[in-house]
Amino acid sequence: MRQFLPVLALAAALFVQSQTTALAIDVVPPGNRNAEQPAIPGASTRRTKAGKTSFDAKYEKVRDLIANDRQLTGKIKSTAAKYGIDPIHMVGAIVGEHTYNVDAYDRLQSYYVKAASYTGNFRFAYDGEAVGDFVARPEFSQCASKKGSYALWICREGVWNKTFKGRTVGGTSYPNNRFSAVFFQPFYAGQTFGLGQINPLTALTLTDDVARISGYDRLDENDAAGVYQAIMDPDISLAYMAAAIRRSIDAYRKIAGVDISKNPGLTATLYNIGNPDARAAAFAARRAEGGATWPEENYYGWLINDKLAELRGLL
């Protein structure tokens, strides 16, 4: 009995610790923190006007695509289940992207047709230097020990921001722009593609998650055509979308101690702006100083929360 008591004490301590940890996670309330929609970026407004359409029309088009395609909603639900997220988060990301980024196609089949057209001999490069050669430079040596594609590419992006962005290094002048925009746009001005509007760098970052959970082949930065084929394919695109949302939820839970899984407007916001780890850390710092209570949605996430009842009805 005496030997059993320490085991009981340890079990009790672990139980209390787990309960304390659980209680330390604050659930973000549903709905928007802003009474009015935050300002929509001018680029989105200009793109929509150039297409001779409106945000309302684009919203209705993507809403109808989801509402009328049971195959698509079935894929959304099954993919969300694999990644342990509510499918409303995926609906929110699709609606946000196709309302403020590009028009939705009328049918899911059109995305498969478009994906099949993405063939060709192209690569991820800047000023003649392939990204695979670029990240082999000594400046990126600190990233060599990183485990997994997520940590590896986050590290590489950090090195870009600190050492190369807007600077001249080794006689080459690098644009004051995002790593993804400089090295991962081989032939189109747009930065995201397909049903999920996935950025190629985002896909490379999440490839280990998607390979592990969905079983799709890992992506390689030296195979740009393969990356584009993956993010243009609706099925694979949905997997990358779910992986990105899962990462955002986990980042805010682990880094900031808040649960955003009940607020689709926040996951949509993070899907739109990216970098969930850095944003979770920044929010945690503001919160510790008393400068913030909850993370806030942007214009994109605000729409999702505002239309939440209608969007849930699509599922």
Does 73 score more than 50 pLDDT?
A: yes
Burial class (CB in 10 A: 0-12, 13-18, 19+), 240: buried
pLDDT at 161: 96
DSSP state at residue 140? G
Mean pLDDT over residues 248-269, rounded?
Answer: 97
Distance CA 244, CA 264 (A): 13
Range with the poorest average pLDDT among 159-163, 190-194, 196-200: 190-194
Name the packing angle between helices 200-214 and 224-232 (round to 10°). Answer: 70
Distance CA 279, CA 296 (A): 11
CA 117 to each of CA 8, 110, 125, 229, 273: distance values in angstroms, whole numbers, following the listed order: 63, 11, 21, 9, 28
pLDDT at 10: 39
For the chain, what percent of residues have pLDDT higher than 70? 84
Does 116 score more than 70 pLDDT?
A: no
DSSP state at residue 165? T
Residue 179 CA from chain centroid, whole number? 16
Q: How far apart are the first and last CA of the chain?
A: 55
Distance CA 300, CA 267 (A): 10
Under 8 Å between Cβ of 208 and 150: yes
DSSP state at residue 189? S
pLDDT at 123: 84
Does 260 score more than 60 pLDDT?
A: yes
Does 3 score more than 50 pLDDT?
A: no
Under 8 Å between Cβ of 89 and 243: no
Does 6 score more than 70 pLDDT?
A: no
Does 145 score more than 90 pLDDT?
A: yes
pTM: 0.86
Residue of higher predicted confidence among 230 and 189: 230
Burial class (CB in 10 A: 0-12, 13-18, 19+), 191: middle
Distance CA 76, CA 198 (A): 16
pLDDT at 23: 44
Distance CA 44, CA 101 (A): 6
Under 8 Å between Cβ of 310 and 63: yes
pLDDT at 107: 56
Question: Helices marked H in the chain — which ranges?
Answer: 4-24, 42-50, 55-68, 70-83, 87-100, 108-116, 131-134, 148-159, 179-183, 200-214, 224-232, 234-251, 264-273, 276-288, 299-306, 308-313
Nearest CA to 227 among 249, 206, 250?
Answer: 206
Does 106 score more than 60 pLDDT?
A: no
CA 159 to each of CA 163, 211, 221, 247: distance values in angstroms, whole numbers, following the listed order: 6, 26, 17, 21
Range with the poorest average pLDDT among 107-116, 163-172, 239-248: 107-116
CA pseudo-torsion sign 133, 210, 251, 30: positive
The average confidence (pLDDT) of the chain is 87
12-67 confidence digits (pLDDT tens) = 434 434 443 444 799 999 999 999 999 998 988 988 888 888 999 999 999 998 99
Does 115 score more than 60 pLDDT?
A: no
Does 207 score more than 90 pLDDT?
A: yes
pLDDT at 109: 60
Mean pLDDT over residues 116-140, rounded?
Answer: 86
